[in-house]
Amino acid sequence: MFALRATLRNPRHGGNRLTDRHAGATRSGGAGQALAGTSVVVTGASTGIGRAIALAVAQAGADVAITYRSEEREARSTAAEIGRLGRQAHVFKLDLADAASIADLAADARRALGRLDVWVNNAGADILTGRAANIPDAKKLDLLLSVDLRGTILASWEATRAMREQSSGGVILNMSWDHVLTGMSGRNPEMFSAVKGGVMAFSKSLARTVAPHIRVNVLAPGWIDTEFGGGLDAVRRRKIARTIPLARWGTPADVARAAVFLASPDSAYLTGQTLLIGGGAVM
């Protein structure tokens, strides 16, 4: 593992951090800075939703450790942007299918940031685009189970272990899918429903286990305009948009704003909850 540290213009480590031990959350350190003085891990932050979350928490005042699996250049671009926002950025390579890699991330991120206030398990296997889109279904399922479900569970346990050693606790955010609640036809949706449903159920149990010291909540995006959506033709995109009450595809920024809310003291009385970010497609 290695880290890249971006320029820090306004250091906030030390005495400026105020904590709410009962909520397991860090209080805001200034106007517009809901996460001021906090340290946040965001996995899978090279592109898409993960990148948007990493930038949003930095804009909210956090220093950030981000991970990538294969897109190092994109991850370093994200880190450079965080640096331009005046926050620290650390870049680590992570293989969510490897328990040792996850344990190393927890140790390295804590060493780099000094503490772990928020851990966002965003990274997941892509079976919809690129070469993985054409592999056999059984291999797709193995990949999703290994990365999205097992990887999320192991990473959550590592985050829990670190946060329990902090008097202020922390926040864990896991990533599910809004259609887990209603279902969707098709082989890929079948697999996603099983795996992301597992993430949702696990998170509820974990929330009960670690409360009140640590809060655990779930982000469940719907039709978000990422690489998969961008690969669809205009007719298909319009057809999908018509199924959404808010009549548009979501953006990574929509998910990122929800992540900042759940990571911040504004949600201090929420744990074990799932926030649907899908424009009302699932209610």
Q: Using one digit for the tens of pLDDT, what is the confidence trace for 255-276?
A: 999 999 999 999 999 999 999 9
Q: What are phi and psi of 67, to 5 degrees?
A: -125, 160
Task: Using a pLDDT cut of 70, give the percent of the chain over it.
Answer: 89
- Where does residue 60 rank: exposed (0-12), middle (13-18), buried (19+ CB within 10 A)? buried
CA 196/CA 211 separation, integer angstroms: 22
Going through 118-258 in order, the beta strands assigned E by DSSP cover: 118-121, 170-175, 214-221
Q: Is the pLDDT of residue 2 over 90?
A: no
Q: Tell me the two tokens of residue 156.
A: 């959550």
Give the separation between CA 73 and CA 8, rounded to whole angstroms.
21
Question: With 60 as the cut, is the pLDDT of residue 39 above it?
Answer: yes
The alpha-carbon radius of gyration of the chain (Å, integer) is 18
Check residue 267 and report its DSSP letter.
Answer: G
Phi-psi map region of 130: left, alpha, beta (phi>0 left; psi -120 to 50 alpha): left
Query: For residue range 157-207, what is the model confidence (pLDDT) as tens digits?
Result: 999 999 999 999 999 999 999 999 999 999 999 999 999 999 999 999 999
Question: Please, are residues 1 and 104 in contact by the beta-carbon 8 Å criterion?
Answer: yes
Distances, alpha carbon 108 to alpha carbons 41, 93, 113, 168, in Å: 11, 11, 9, 20
Give the separation between CA 107 and CA 90, rounded to whole angstroms: 13
- Degrees to nearest 5, angle at CA 44 with 152 and 74: 170
- Comparing 5-19, 57-71, 95-109, 260-274, the range with the smallest average pLDDT is 5-19
For residue 235, what is the enclosing H or E element? helix 234-241
Residue 218 has pLDDT above 90, yes or no: yes
88/38 Cα distance (integer angstroms)? 11
Cα(177)–Cα(116) distance, integer angstroms: 25
Residue ranges per domain, the chain?
19-277
User: How far apart (Å, rounded) are the C-alpha atoms in residues 27 and 18?
Assistant: 6
Rounded Cα–Cα distance for residues 144 and 177 (Å): 13
pTM, entire model? 0.89
The pLDDT of 1-13, averaged and rounded, is 40
pLDDT at residue 131 greater than cutoff 90: no
Mean pLDDT of all residues in 39-48? 97
- The top-level CATH class assigned to 19-277 is alpha beta
Structure tokens belonging to residue 253: 């920024």
The CA distance from 121 to 219, in Å, is 10
pLDDT reported for residue 22: 34
Give the total residue count for the chain.
283
CA atoms within 13 A on the CB side of 38: 38
Q: What local confidence, expressed as pLDDT, does residue 32 receive?
A: 64
17: Cα separation from own chain's centroid = 23
Give the span between the Cα atoms of 179 and 193, in whole angstroms: 7
Residue 9 has pLDDT above 90, yes or no: no
Contact 265, 28 (CB under 8 A): yes
pLDDT bin (cut points 50, 70, 90) of residue 231 is: confident
pLDDT exceeds 50 at position 127: yes
19 three-class SS: strand
